[in-house]
Amino acid sequence: TAKLNSEKWLAIHRTAHKIGIRSNCTMLYGHVESFEDRVHHMTQLRNLQDETKGFNVFIPLAFQPHNNHMGIKDYTCGLDDLKTIAIARLYLDNFKHIKAYWIMLTQDIAQIATNFGANDLDGTVVEEKISSMAGGTSGGSLSKDQIISLINKAQKDAQERNSIYEAISTKKKYKTINIQKNFLRPNKKFSNENINRLINSSLVQLGLESENIKFETNQNDLISVALNFEYTPGSLDSAMSAYTSISQNYKYPHGLMINLCESQYTRSAPPSWAKVVDDLNTFKQNFPNQSISIRGLKILWQIAQKQKIDIKNLFKEISQLGVKSIESSLFESESTLTNSEIIDLHAAAHQNDLPTIAKIEISCPPNGTIMWDSFITRLEIFNQLQEQTKGIMAYMLQPASNSNLMSLEYLKALSITKILSQQVTEIISPIPVIPSFNKAETMKDTFFCSQTNKLLPLCVLFGSTDFGNIKINTSNEKDLYYLNKAVRANKKNFALRLNRFMKKEFNLFH
């Protein structure tokens, strides 16, 4: 059936308002419309609201791209969602409520939107079919407690309402979680006053402050990813065959990553160092021009401990083998290492001309906020090491094991890291571990589900300069398409990361 035109739609709502029936209004965006169309749509609603004051709420609806006949394949990006919410809040100043409709935005973007002008998240929604049939991935329902948690962890107070936006009185108060007001670390380089100011700032304030930081480098506007063939010790023959096959027709610059953490040996014990050395030499002989890196800083520490190898000699041998850099793995927790142990590891690598990527894990309990003490301490000691060695290429931020970190909190940690770490100019948001409300959705084999697709541009907005590593395969062109899109949404340039964090600008569409 044909839809009503705008004149008839407005006339129906005008009539309802005149006889005392209030209504809601929506705007579907992210399909065939222009920005001018959006402004025109909101202007008509604003004018009618001035006339009747009968609208309860304005609800922007993000287009869901599945099962449509318009040839649209992409979800709206999170940056567009937040801009739409923010513009609506500023322009529709005669509307009391702006809704972040989590079913179409995703729970992550809806929560973040409470910092950008939204003051309503909709409700529990027992069953929803329209969005899911069109490709929505947010799930069919949220419990009351889940909604309250989303609101509270955004540092907002939750108020239950009815369908006509009247507050429902309850004995239980849904107050925000108390954030850390008195962060005290005397005699340290970071001033207590500055740390307290940052951790108590809103996400928007942090984003503005971090955006104003420009480093003395020609890579300020380059947001990158590294493409690597990954080899895990223990399967040399099959790996050599696979890499030979892939590399013959692979057209993008890439490196070779020796991934110690996913080795078949690491479940019971670290791999034999002699075996790793033999495999490295074999790869070097067969692919002499290939840049080689090692992932698994903690595994290297375990190898040194259990096989009684001096860690400095271990890194010296790694350097002599032609390895270009060392980085931590997403799948090993370094929280069990003391600060002195982790610093000694990085320092030993730097002394042997092996730059490192340093991981900072973010801990967050289920009913609390980020444990800023451990986070700031680890950041501080890395900054002090960087002053001495200049050997840290980048910081890699990820949730700690079993951490209940929300995407909003992750973005806040990104900005604080950028503000406090001006000697380390690169910050990595590894795609597989960017936190999301729907963790199962983001951990699928494909990196770019709707949840991740929406969050990538926001990571860039709040401080990320790199998305980590992607294994080379035949689907990389699709991966690069989505990354390129996320980066250019921020008016920055996409790049491929090469040896030792050198970046080469890359445009898939040239």
Determine the Cα–Cα distance for residues 248 and 257; give it in Å rounded to an integer.
18
pLDDT at 439: 61
- Side by side, the strands of the sheet bearing 55-62 are 23-29, 55-62, 97-98
The pair of structure tokens assigned to 348 is 């030993």
* Domain presence at residue 496: no
Same domain, residue pair 125 and 263: no
Q: Which residue has the tokens 């080689």?
A: 292
* Domain presence at residue 319: yes
Same domain, residue pair 431 and 356: yes
Same domain, residue pair 112 and 39: yes
Same domain, residue pair 400 and 453: yes
- The CATH number that applies at residue 456 is 3.20.20.20
Q: CA 359, 363, 364, 370 torsion: positive or negative?
A: negative
Same domain, residue pair 397 and 261: yes
Same domain, residue pair 267 and 397: yes
Same domain, residue pair 61 and 117: yes
* Domain presence at residue 100: yes
* Domain presence at residue 183: no
Same domain, residue pair 438 and 323: yes
Same domain, residue pair 267 and 324: yes
Determine the Cα–Cα distance for residues 74 and 71; give it in Å rounded to an integer.
10
**Beta strand residue intervals within 255-374, DSSP E:** 255-259, 292-295, 323-327, 356-362
* Domain presence at residue 495: no
**Tally of domains within the chain:** 2
Same domain, residue pair 253 and 378: yes
* Domain presence at residue 281: yes
* Domain presence at residue 78: yes
Instruction: Tell me the residue range of the domain where 318 lies.
Output: 194-212+219-490
- The whole-model pTM stands at 0.90
pLDDT tens track, the chain, 510 positions: 467 899 999 999 999 999 999 999 999 999 989 999 999 999 999 999 999 999 999 999 999 887 777 777 788 999 999 999 999 999 999 999 999 999 999 999 999 999 999 999 987 666 555 555 444 555 567 888 889 889 988 989 999 999 999 998 765 555 554 444 444 443 356 788 889 899 999 999 999 999 888 877 667 789 999 999 998 887 888 899 999 888 888 889 999 999 998 644 445 577 889 989 999 999 989 888 889 999 999 999 999 999 999 999 999 999 999 999 999 999 888 988 999 999 999 999 999 999 999 999 999 987 788 999 999 999 999 999 999 999 999 999 999 988 899 999 999 999 999 999 878 999 999 999 999 887 644 444 445 556 778 999 999 999 999 999 999 987 788 889 889 999 999 999 999 998 888 988 887 654
Determine the Cα–Cα distance for residues 274 and 384; give it in Å rounded to an integer.
34
What is the SS3 assignment for 55? strand
What is the secondary structure of 153-201 as a DSSP string?
A: HTT--B--B-TTSPBPP-SS-BPPPPP-S----TTSSS-HHHHHHHHTS
* Domain presence at residue 389: yes
Q: CA 309, 314, 317, 318 torsion: positive or negative?
A: positive
Same domain, residue pair 342 and 460: yes
Same domain, residue pair 135 and 257: no
